[in-house]
């Protein structure tokens, strides 16, 4: 592994970064939401990797500190234990300054070091290296150029790189989440960073908004609004803020979800009677193509990321259960058999399992079922848990729950060990959806 | 400015409607009785809707004023359902029948039936359950002579609860279909 910063990788990362920055800047026509979500962590992973995050050179006095964000990202995942870097003078910033024995004595397996320098154009050059204490070598390192406004995103990118280098799974710290906030009689569709910061209001209404669904490229949201005194499906660009009704047929229109190629939506329409699943174009043009043909309820469609299977909730067997159906057409197969109420299926990113809500007694909880073995694991123990969705790396599931009568967002690791709670003061937060990796 | 105008118009309409909302409020207080077949909840209208069943075409059609006349059954707009059921109970047949006849006599009249559910369970599944309730009412009205094009069945699911408590009384109040006339 070269000890110098890897140039080709760097440009690739910069390209990704600038793209993500473009997305963030695209929120300019929208309004910043007032309160930030704050995160509470409950539980930790089975094993936690001890890591030290050393404050970067020239970090003091920056408009946005970088290493505290990296540290809180990693800690929040439950997979890392932060090792104190205090009491060292001078602090190491470059590999040649690093005394590995000190860090081994403190119990750290890995150390993150780095530097920040302001460029003549006012932007910042942020460089970091992830060092392996045991093997005494550099695992990875990158350089970023960022404006002051991009420093927090840069910190998430660094956390993503560290997370991937040490756990093997891609980090999701620079991804975003969408959710609905209810404040009094006002409903807001918001998008925030995965750590709850930087919340932006996408849309507000005095009528309920529900069921936000991310386009696979993370550039659009589909959702349901009751602003026309009935459920209508909208698609909104996060770039321009423009929105349009894409399903506004006679009756109710709801439960939008994107196909993995981003070319169509599955929605639930009642125009022909009952609640049935249809495919429509993402621009709302053309005739809806009906997919289910029952007199039962068929709703909550969700595509497998490989595009093969469509999951949905149906009460065709007498109680609401989850069914799977080939997207190309064919017979629907019942997938859930435990209990009398299994709803809200969402695929895992590897298409091998799905998360859903299972009623156990009077409780509604998040569960995961393996498609091949049909093994079910219940992951949460709230009273009313709703709307689960996987993080794009499959390691966490975001869901809505209630604490003291108020809606809050929570996340649970897919093994059930780590739980996080995201809360906002004086508001009901609900209907979360975890966005895709930035393209 | 527009909102102010809307609010003013709404206030005006509310004033016009008078006690149009009263019957449902009273029904709310008597919620525990709703499941029992003891007849319609709340006060029985002093003047029942005219019997138009025999020869509806020669009867003088009811004017729109009847829709908000608290003495007329047409001012009652809510049909309540049992848990996990979309069966229109006998006690609501007179109400559904009266609205079906009104639609038959006023071919230009249009309504939306808004289905609602209690707060338990998946929001999207509840949209579908509420839809089933509003369609059950629509179907009955069609059998009684209303035309399909006059009635749009929609659902609010659990999104617009009338009662905000987390108990059986509130849930029963929210398992409901409401009839709303176009222009109201």
Question: Which among A252, A364, A387 is the nearest to B127, CB-wise?
Answer: A252
In the predicted structure, residue B43 carries a pLDDT above the cut 50: no
**Angstrom distances, CA of residue B21 to CA of B74, B94, B177:** 12, 18, 14
Residues on chain B touching A270 (C-beta within 8 angstroms)? 131, 135, 153-155
Parse chain B into domains and list their residue ranges.
22-181
Q: Given A167, A188, A216, which residue is the final one in a domain?
A: A167
- Asked if the Cβ–Cβ distance from A252 to B132 is below 8 Å, we say no
Are A40 and A137 members of one domain?
yes
Contact A49, A166 (CB under 8 A): yes
Residues on chain A touching B152 (C-beta within 8 angstroms)? 230, 250-251
Are A191 and A155 members of one domain?
no
Residues of the domain holding A257:
176-434
Q: What is the ipTM of this complex?
A: 0.88
Residues on chain A touching B112 (C-beta within 8 angstroms)? 229-230
Window from A389-393, B26-30, B154-158 with minimum mean pLDDT? B26-30
Which of A182, A208, A229, A231 to mutate to probe the B interface, most B CBs <10 Å?
A231
Question: From A273, which residue of chain B is nearest by alpha-carbon distance?
Answer: B135
pLDDT for A438 equals 85
Point out which residues pair with A124 in neighbouring strands: A118, A146
Per DSSP, the residues of B2-65 read HHHHHHHHHHHHHHHHGGGGHHHHHHHHTGGGTTS-SS-SSPPPSSPPP--SS-TTTSPPPPGG
Which of A273, A275, A294, A402 to mutate to probe the B interface, most B CBs <10 Å?
A275
**Judging by DSSP bridges, how do beta strands B111-116 and A419-423 pair with one another?**
unpaired
Q: Is the dihedral of CA A38, A44, A45, A51 positive or negative?
A: positive
Are A198 and A217 members of one domain?
yes
Q: How many residues are given for chain B?
A: 184
Are A308 and A406 members of one domain?
yes
What's the pLDDT tens digit per position in A330-352? 999 999 999 999 999 999 999 99
CATH number (domain holding residue A184): 2.120.10.30
Are A207 and A60 members of one domain?
no
Residues on chain A touching B127 (C-beta within 8 angstroms)? 224, 231, 252, 254-255, 268, 275, 299
pLDDT for A45 equals 64
- Asked if the Cβ–Cβ distance from A341 to B127 is below 8 Å, we say no
Are A332 and A262 members of one domain?
yes
Are A126 and A161 members of one domain?
yes
What's the pLDDT tens digit per position in A252-281? 999 999 999 999 999 999 999 999 999 999
Check residue B99 and report its DSSP letter.
Answer: H
- Asked if the Cβ–Cβ distance from A299 to B154 is below 8 Å, we say no
- Asked if the Cβ–Cβ distance from B127 to A357 is below 8 Å, we say no
Q: From CA A72, how far away is CA A343, in angstroms rounded?
A: 33
In the predicted structure, residue A13 carries a pLDDT above the cut 50: no
- A1 part of a folded domain: no
Q: Given A167, A192, A225, which residue is the final one in a domain?
A: A167
Q: From CA A326, how far away is CA A150, in angstroms rounded?
A: 43
- Asked if the Cβ–Cβ distance from B160 to A231 is below 8 Å, we say no
B22-181 has which CATH code? 3.30.1330.60
Per DSSP, the residues of A354-399 read EEEEEEETTEEEEEEEETTT--EEE----SB-EEEEE-TTSSEEEE
- A439 part of a folded domain: no
What's the pLDDT tens digit per position in A279-319? 999 999 999 999 999 999 999 999 999 999 999 999 999 99
In the predicted structure, residue B90 carries a pLDDT above the cut 90: yes
CATH number (domain holding residue A125): 3.40.50.10070
pLDDT above 90 as % of chain B:
62
Q: From CA A301, how far away is CA A357, in angstroms rounded?
A: 14
Contact B113, B61 (CB under 8 A): no
**Angstrom distances, CA of residue A98 to CA of A1, A88, A95, B165:** 17, 11, 5, 61
Q: Residues 6 or more apart from A286 whose CB is under 8 A from it?
A: A280
Kindly state the greatest CA–CA separation across chain A. Answer: 73
Check residue A57 and report its DSSP letter.
Answer: B
Residues on chain A touching B159 (C-beta within 8 angstroms)? 208, 210, 226
In the predicted structure, residue A149 carries a pLDDT above the cut 70: yes
Q: Given A167, A199, A227, which residue is the final one in a domain?
A: A167
What's the pLDDT tens digit per position in A109-123? 999 999 999 999 999
Q: From CA A280, how far away is CA A235, in angstroms rounded?
A: 12
CA dihedral of residues B88, B92, B96, B97 (deg, nearest 10): 110
Residue B48: closest CA among B75, B77, B84:
B75
- Asked if the Cβ–Cβ distance from A274 to B124 is below 8 Å, we say no
Question: Which among A208, A224, A341 is the nearest to B121, CB-wise?
Answer: A341
Buried b (16+ CB within 10 A) or exposed e, B19-31: ebeebbeebbeeb
In the predicted structure, residue A9 carries a pLDDT above the cut 60: no
Chain B: closest CA distance from residue A346 (Å):
13
For the residues A222-249, what does the mean pLDDT come to?
A: 97
What's the pLDDT tens digit per position in A169-186? 999 999 999 999 999 899
- Report which of residues A164 and B19 the model is more confident about: A164
- Asked if the Cβ–Cβ distance from B156 to A387 is below 8 Å, we say no
Q: Is the dihedral of CA A261, A263, A268, A272 positive or negative?
A: negative
- A297 part of a folded domain: yes
What's the pLDDT tens digit per position in A38-67? 666 666 666 889 999 999 999 988 989 999
Q: From CA A190, how far away is CA A22, in angstroms rounded?
A: 18
What is the C-alpha end-to-end distance of chain B, expressed in Å? Answer: 21
- A2 part of a folded domain: no
- Asked if the Cβ–Cβ distance from A231 to B125 is below 8 Å, we say no
pLDDT above 70 as % of chain A:
89
Among chain A, residues having any CB pair with chain B shorter than 8 Å are 208, 210-211, 224, 226, 229-231, 250-252, 254-255, 268, 270, 273-275, 297, 299-300, 313, 320, 341, 343-344, 357, 359, 364, 384, 386-387, 405, 431
Residues on chain A touching B123 (C-beta within 8 angstroms)? 210-211, 386-387, 431
Query: What does pLDDT average to over chain A?
Result: 90
Residue A107 tokens read as 């119990």
pLDDT for A294 equals 97
Query: What does pLDDT average to over chain B?
Result: 77
For the residues B93-109, what does the mean pLDDT come to?
A: 97
Are A99 and A189 members of one domain?
no
- Asked if the Cβ–Cβ distance from B154 to A230 is below 8 Å, we say yes
Residues on chain A touching B122 (C-beta within 8 angstroms)? 300, 313, 320, 343-344, 357, 386-387
pLDDT for A439 equals 74
**Angstrom distances, CA of residue A44 to CA of A49, A171, A365, A415, B12:** 11, 17, 20, 11, 58
Q: From CA B83, how far away is CA B4, in angstroms rounded?
A: 40
Per DSSP, the residues of A293-356 read --SS-EEEEEE-TTSSEEEEEE-TTSS-EEEEEETTS---EE---SSS-EEEEEE-TTSSEEEE
What's the pLDDT tens digit per position in A395-425? 999 999 998 888 999 999 998 988 888 876 6
Residues on chain A touching B128 (C-beta within 8 angstroms)? 254, 268, 275, 297, 299
Residue in the block written with tokens 């908000």 = B68
Residue B84: closest CA among B132, B18, B37, B45:
B132
Residue B114 tokens read as 């808004």
pTM of the model: 0.84
pLDDT for A2 equals 33
Reduced to 3 states (helix: H, G, I; strand: E, B; else coil), residue A270 is coil
Residue A436 tokens read as 């895709």
Chain B: closest CA distance from residue A176 (Å):
23
What is the C-alpha end-to-end distance of chain A, expressed in Å? Answer: 27
Structural domains counted in chain A = 2
pLDDT for A404 equals 84
- Asked if the Cβ–Cβ distance from B127 to A299 is below 8 Å, we say yes
Q: From CA A137, how far away is CA A153, in angstroms rounded?
A: 26
- A258 part of a folded domain: yes
Within 10 angstroms of residue A225's Cβ, the number of other Cβ atoms is 23
Q: Is B8 exposed, middle or buried (0-12, 13-18, 19+ CB in 10 A)?
A: exposed
Chain A: closest CA distance from residue B155 (Å):
6
- Asked if the Cβ–Cβ distance from A359 to B127 is below 8 Å, we say no
- Spacing of C-alpha A184 from chain mean position: 26
Are A283 and A421 members of one domain?
yes
Are A73 and A124 members of one domain?
yes
- Report which of residues A31 and A143 the model is more confident about: A143
What's the pLDDT tens digit per position in B60-79? 567 888 999 999 999 999 99
pLDDT for A196 equals 86
Q: From CA A412, how far away is CA A428, in angstroms rounded?
A: 19
For the residues B86-103, what does the mean pLDDT come to?
A: 97
Chain B: closest CA distance from residue A372 (Å):
25
Question: Which among A254, A273, A274 is the nearest to B127, CB-wise?
Answer: A254
Are A124 and A202 members of one domain?
no
Buried b (16+ CB within 10 A) or exposed e, A298-310: bbbbbbbbeeebb
Are A419 and A354 members of one domain?
yes
- Asked if the Cβ–Cβ distance from B125 to A384 is below 8 Å, we say no
Residue B40: closest CA among B97, B79, B75:
B79
pLDDT for A46 equals 67
- Report which of residues B2 and B29 the model is more confident about: B2
């Amino acid at each position: 592994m070269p000890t110098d910063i890897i140039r080709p990788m760097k440009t690739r990362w910069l390209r990704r970064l600038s793209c993500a920055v473009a997305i963030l800047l695209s929120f300019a026509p929208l309004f910043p939401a007032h309160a930030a979500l704050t995160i509470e962590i409950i539980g930790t992973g089975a094993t936690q990797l001890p890591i030290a995050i050393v404050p970067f050179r020239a970090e003091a006095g920056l408009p946005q500190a970088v290493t505290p964000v990296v540290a809180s990202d990693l800690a929040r995942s439950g997979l890392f234990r932060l090792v104190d870097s205090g009491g060292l003078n001078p602090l190491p910033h470059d590999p040649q300054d690093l005394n590995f024995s000190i860090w081994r004595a403190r119990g750290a397996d890995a150390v993150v070091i780095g530097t920040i320098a302001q460029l003549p154009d006012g932007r910042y050059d942020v460089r970091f290296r992830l060092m392996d204490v045991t093997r005494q070598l550099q695992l990875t390192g990158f350089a970023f150029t960022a404006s002051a406004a991009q420093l927090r995103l840069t910190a998430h990118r660094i956390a993503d790189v560290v997370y991937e280098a040490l756990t093997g799974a891609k980090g999701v710290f620079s991804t975003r989440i969408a959710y609905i906030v209810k404040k009094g009689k006002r409903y807001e569709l918001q998008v925030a960073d995965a750590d709850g910061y930087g919340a932006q209001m996408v849309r507000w209404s005095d009528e309920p908004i529900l069921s936000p669904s991310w386009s696979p490229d993370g550039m659009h949201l589909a959702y349901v609004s009751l602003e026309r005194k009935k459920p209508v499906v909208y698609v909104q660009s996060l770039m321009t803020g423009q929105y349009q009704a894409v399903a506004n047929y006679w009756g109710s229109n709801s439960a939008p979800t994107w196909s993995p190629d981003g070319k169509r939506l599955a929605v639930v329409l009642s125009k022909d009677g009952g609640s049935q699943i249809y495919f429509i174009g993402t621009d709302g043009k053309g005739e809806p193509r009906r997919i289910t043909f029952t007199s039962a309820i068929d709703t909550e469609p969700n595509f497998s990321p490989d595009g093969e299977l469509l999951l949905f909730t149906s009460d065709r067997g007498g109680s609401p259960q989850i069914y799977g159906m080939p997207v190309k057409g064919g017979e629907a197969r019942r997938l859930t058999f435990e209990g009398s109420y299994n709803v809200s299926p969402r695929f895992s990113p590897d298409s091998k399992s799905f998360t859903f809500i299972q009623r156990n007694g009077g409780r509604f909880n998040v569960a995961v079922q393996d498609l091949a073995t049909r093994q079910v694991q219940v992951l949460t123990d709230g009273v009313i848990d709703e709307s689960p969705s996987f993080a794009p790396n499959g390691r966490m599931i975001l869901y809505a729950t209630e604490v003291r009568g108020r809606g809050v967002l929570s996340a649970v690791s897919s093994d059930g060990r780590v739980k996080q709670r995201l809360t906002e003061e004086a508001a009901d937060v609900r209907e979360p959806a975890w966005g895709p990796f930035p393209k | 400015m527009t909102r102010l105008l809307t609010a003013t118009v709404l206030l005006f309409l509310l004033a016009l409607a008078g006690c149009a909302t009263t019957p449902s409020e009273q029904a709310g207080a008597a919620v525990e009785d709703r499941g029992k077949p003891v007849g319609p909840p709340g006060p029985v209208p002093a003047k029942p809707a005219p019997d138009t069943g025999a020869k509806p075409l020669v009867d003088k059609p009811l004017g729109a004023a009847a829709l908000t006349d608290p003495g007329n059954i047409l001012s009652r707009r809510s049909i309540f359902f049992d848990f996990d059921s979309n069966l229109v109970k006998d006690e609501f047949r007179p109400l559904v029948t009266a609205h079906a006849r009104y639609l038959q006599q006023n071919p230009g009249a249009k309504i939306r039936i808004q289905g609602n559910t209690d707060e338990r369970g998946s929001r999207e599944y509840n949209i579908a359950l509420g839809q089933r309730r509003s369609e059950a009412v629509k179907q009955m009205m069609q059998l009684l002579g209303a035309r399909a094009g006059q009635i749009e069945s929609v659902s609010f699911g659990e999104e617009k609860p009338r009662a905000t408590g987390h108990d059986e009384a509130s849930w029963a109040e929210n398992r409901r279909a409401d009839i709303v006339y176009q222009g109201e």
